[in-house]
Structure 1
Amino acid sequence: MNSKTGNQASLKITYVDRLLERVRAEEHSEQAMIVTAHSSRSSQALLTVYEWGNGNWEKREEMRAVIGQKGITFDMKEGGMRSPAGIYRIRQSFGTEKSPLGIKLPYRQTTAFDYWVDDVTSEDYNQWVVYKGDPDLRWRSYERLSIPLYKYAAVIGYNEDAIPNKGSAIFLHIWPGPDKYTAGCTAVSEENIVKLLQWMDPKKNPVIIQGTVEQLQQLL
């Protein structure tokens, strides 16, 4: 797909056009993924890929996506099974396998010693920690990064200030199935996650923008 955003015939400016211009102005982004949830309580969504080129934002592709079991919200809570609405940078990719060819983002291959901490009482909250000891003695709660759903993945830059209980471990990863859901991440098919990882270029400051139509309009 290579159609320009907006309706050029009528020159109508849509909320999508305005969102894309916002991230280009504020984040200096030239690559954006817009995840539009079917409703605030739905786990089903559509991910649309946009890239800036030739003086315009161009729509590259659309794909099915799944989000948190209980939908999407601006009011995130740890363990709430919802995905965060908002605009977030993507700077890091990772996976249990070696980096696929063509990936430009920094990529780390995970091992059994890689954890993402969701213990709200820990100073490690919402951080990636490599630890060779017994994780149960160090944290009340954590997520292993060496699991099949994270064969290929990217970190969504949510709650980077690690505010306790505001949610953690938000990734873009392989889905458990097109009719399933995540615990708060955004997920697409393995074929599409590889395609997205190969497309994202850190020089173009890729972002992911998430929400229902109403939530996306609130970001303007």
Structure 2
Amino acid sequence: MIHSPADLVLTRRGLRFMGRHLPCSIGKGGIRADKREGDGATPVGAHRITGMFYRPDRLAAPQPWAEPIRPGDLWSDESGDPAYNSHVRAPYPASHEALRRADPLYDIVLVTDWNEGGEPGKGSAIFLHQRRRAGYPTEGCVAFARPDLIWLARHVIPGARLIVRR
């Protein structure tokens, strides 16, 4: 596969982007080609960055195209829900994940196109976000130290490819 300088290339060793190496955490289930909801795996493949959310009460917008996370912003993670794997608003009866969190993990969220069509059971909410601490795995997302995530968010463009390799 030919890479452009705008590609984000992820392996178990970290993420390479614009000539920089960014240490990161991946899913506790490893990198898998057969990603399923709840398996904790980061899906292998070429995914696109399709959006960015940020907490305007905690930091400035990293890019003009970033959307503020407002109270009541959620992400549907209930397989079979018509809005599965998409941004929804509270009150929302189906299972969901809050985008506005008390901790800083979702102060910046880069959204990928993983399972953009919402195929039931294929997995949801595969984001790039802040990590808890070095070496602490995610539920399938890719997580970075805050300074690295801010740098990444300031340089990535919509549609950039996130290439995940084993």
Q: Same fold by TM (over 0.5)?
A: yes
Bigger relative contact order (CA 8 A; separation at least 6): 2
Structure 1 stretches of 4+ with a deviation exceeding 6 A read none
In structure 1, the residue corresponding to 2:148 is in which secondary structure?
helix
2:7 corresponds in structure 1 to 32
2:31 corresponds in structure 1 to 72
Seen in structure 2, the aligned counterparts of structure 1 residues 101 and 151 have a Cα distance that, compared at 3 Å, is: closer
Aligned residues: 163
| Cα displacement (A) at 1:179 | 1.4
Amino acid across the alignment from 1:93: M
Provide, for residues 101-158 of structure 1, a one-character-per-residue CA deviation record: whole Å limited to 9, x for no partner. Answer: 5514x21111231110011121010010122x2x3xx11x210000220011210110
Provide, for residues 53-92 of structure 1, a one-character-per-residue CA deviation record: whole Å limited to 9, x for no partner. Answer: xxxxxxx200101010120101011000111111011121
Whether the 8 Å contact between 1:95 and 1:146 is mirrored in structure 2 is: no
Q: Does 1:63 align with 2:22?
A: yes
In structure 2, the residue corresponding to 1:192 is in which secondary structure?
helix
Whether the 8 Å contact between 2:14 and 2:24 is mirrored in structure 1 is: yes
In structure 1, the residue corresponding to 2:7 is in which secondary structure?
strand
| Cα displacement (A) at 1:19 | 3.5
2:14 corresponds in structure 1 to 46
Q: Does 1:187 align with 2:143?
A: yes
Amino acid across the alignment from 2:73: D
Whether the 8 Å contact between 1:153 and 1:193 is mirrored in structure 2 is: no
Alpha-carbon distance in 1 for matches of 2:36, 2:147:
31
Whether the 8 Å contact between 1:92 and 1:154 is mirrored in structure 2 is: yes
Whether the 8 Å contact between 2:36 and 2:122 is mirrored in structure 1 is: yes
Alpha-carbon distance in 2 for matches of 1:161, 1:190:
30
% same residue: 28
1:157 corresponds in structure 2 to 113
Alpha-carbon distance in 1 for matches of 2:60, 2:70:
17
TM-score, normalisation: structure 1: 0.70
Q: Which has the larger radius of gyration?
A: 1
1:107 corresponds in structure 2 to 66
Alpha-carbon distance in 2 for matches of 1:97, 1:120:
30
Alpha-carbon distance in 2 for matches of 1:100, 1:211:
32
TM-score, normalisation: structure 2: 0.91
Whether the 8 Å contact between 1:120 and 1:164 is mirrored in structure 2 is: yes
In structure 1, the residue corresponding to 2:27 is in which secondary structure?
coil
In structure 1, the residue corresponding to 2:51 is in which secondary structure?
strand
Unpaired segments of 5 or more residues in structure 1? 1-17, 25-29, 38-44, 51-59, 213-220
2:162 corresponds in structure 1 to 208
Seen in structure 2, the aligned counterparts of structure 1 residues 143 and 80 have a Cα distance that, compared at 3 Å, is: same
Whether the 8 Å contact between 2:49 and 2:157 is mirrored in structure 1 is: no
Provide, for residues 21-40 of structure 1, a one-character-per-residue CA deviation record: whole Å limited to 9, x for no partner. Answer: xxx5xxxxx51110102xxx
